[in-house]
Amino acid sequence: MIRGLAHITGGGLVDNLPRILPSNCDAAIDTASWTVPAIFQLLAQNGRVDRAEMYQVFNMGIGMVAIVSEKDAIQAMRVLKAKRIGKVVPGRGKTRLAW
Q: How far apart are CA 69 and CA 79, in angstroms?
A: 14
State how far the alpha carbon of 30 is from the alpha carbons of 25, 35, 56, 67, 98, in Å. Answer: 16, 11, 15, 15, 5
- Asked if 96 and 29 count as a contact pair (C-beta separation under 8 A), the reply is yes
pLDDT of residue 98: 97
Count of Cβ atoms closer than 10 Å to residue 99 Cβ: 8
Reduced to 3 states (helix: H, G, I; strand: E, B; else coil), residue 14 is helix
Give the pLDDT score at 25: 98
Which SS3 state, helix, strand or coil, does residue 53 take? helix
Domain residues for 14?
A: 2-98
Query: What does pLDDT average to in each consecutive run of 10 residues of the chain (99 residues)?
Result: 93 96 97 97 97 96 97 96 97 97
Which CATH number covers residue 55? Answer: 3.90.650.10
pLDDT of residue 1: 81
Number of domains in the chain: 1
